[in-house]
Amino acid sequence: DGGITQSPKYLFRKEGQNVTLSCEQNLNHDAMYWYRQDPGQGLRLIYYSQIVNDFQKGDIAEGYSVSREKKESFPLTVTSAQKNPTAFYLCASSIGNRGRLGNQPQHFGDGTRLSIL
Amino acid sequence: AQSVSQHNHHVILSEAASLELGCNYSYGGTVNLFWYVQYPGQHLQLLLKYFSGDPLVKGIKGFEAEFIKSKFSFNLRKPSVQWSDTAEYFCAVNSGNTPLVFGKGTRLSVIA
């Protein structure tokens, strides 16, 4: 069954620690995205990648890093520089077209909820 | 930069009432418009989308939306809501080669 898998579902972090959130897709999509969802704030874009080995900052990239070494994987690292990391993180993917995002809808994973201990 | 406004933060309706959720965007060029729904405990799902053509778009579960270019609006409607429509609804827009920009969402509570 094709889809997007995010793991873990819940994650706890001590202050000063980096943590990595996993996102894997088997939809053969070129483009992948990370969003942060906070109550009343909607979804805010952290990073996105249109193609393997390439990614761009979104609106709130500070304190986060990503890599795109494989088409199906787009892990997000929340670094200690992110001062308010407690949030719900959503990964998404879309078909894309020769490196362009186009008008294809995004498909979402179930999310990872990150909390600070 | 593109932005999306959803004016209703929380809407409470009785079952069988009609629904209209507002969505306005700011961008002067050609846009693609989307409505997503997030049911409690579930992932975001696409309700409907507009790229071009007929400005009245029909989606899943009886939802529809109308694109009014002159008003920069893409309001979501449903003639008669059910308890199972309780969810959070997000409007989103993109254009060309940009990622989706989402509104802050509208929480819909349907009561019996």
What would the pLDDT profile of A14-54 be if each residue is shown by its tens digit?
888 999 999 999 999 999 999 999 988 899 999 999 999 99
Q: Is the Cβ of B27 closer than 8 Å to some Cβ of chain A?
A: no
- C-alpha span between B26 and B23 (Å, rounded): 10
Q: Are B94 and B31 in contact (CB under 8 A)?
A: yes
d(CA B32, CA A44): 18
User: pLDDT class for A103, splitting at 50, 70, 90?
Assistant: confident
- CB B32, CB B99: distance < 8 Å: no
Give the mutation candidate from B25, B43, B88, B98 for the A interface (greatest A CB count, under 10 A). Answer: B43
> What is the share, in percent, of chain A residues with pLDDT greater than 90?
74
pLDDT tens-place string over residues B8-54: 999 999 999 999 999 999 987 888 999 999 999 888 999 999 998 99
Min Cα separation A62/chain B (Å) = 18
Find residues 11-40 of chain A whose CB sits inside 8 Å of chain B: 33, 35, 40
| Closest chain A C-alpha to B15 CA, distance in angstroms | 25
> Nearest-CA neighbor of B76 among B95, B86, B93, B90?
B90
Helix (H) or strand (E) holding B88: strand B87-94
| Contact between B51 and A41 using a beta-carbon 8 Å cutoff | no
Q: What is the mean pLDDT of residues A102-117?
A: 90
Give the residue from A3, A15, A19 showing the smallest Cα distance to A113. A19
- Give the C-alpha separation, A41 to B94, whole Å: 18
Is the distance from CB of A74 to CB of A29 less than 8 angstroms? no
B79: three-class secondary structure by DSSP:
coil
Interface of B with A in 80-99 (CB under 8 A): 90, 94, 96-99
Residue A73 in this model has a pLDDT that exceeds 70: yes
CA of A43, closest CA in chain B: separation in Å?
6
Encoded amino acid at A26, one letter: N
SS3 A89: strand
Q: How far is A60 from A57, CA to CA, in rounded Å? A: 8
Judging contacts by C-beta atoms under 8 Å, the chain A residues touching residue B36 are 108
Strand, coil or helix: what is B62? helix
In chain B, which residues have their Cβ closer than 8 Å to the Cβ of A101?
A: 94, 96-99
Do residues A52 and A69 lie in contact, with contact meaning Cβ atoms separated by under 8 Å?
A: yes
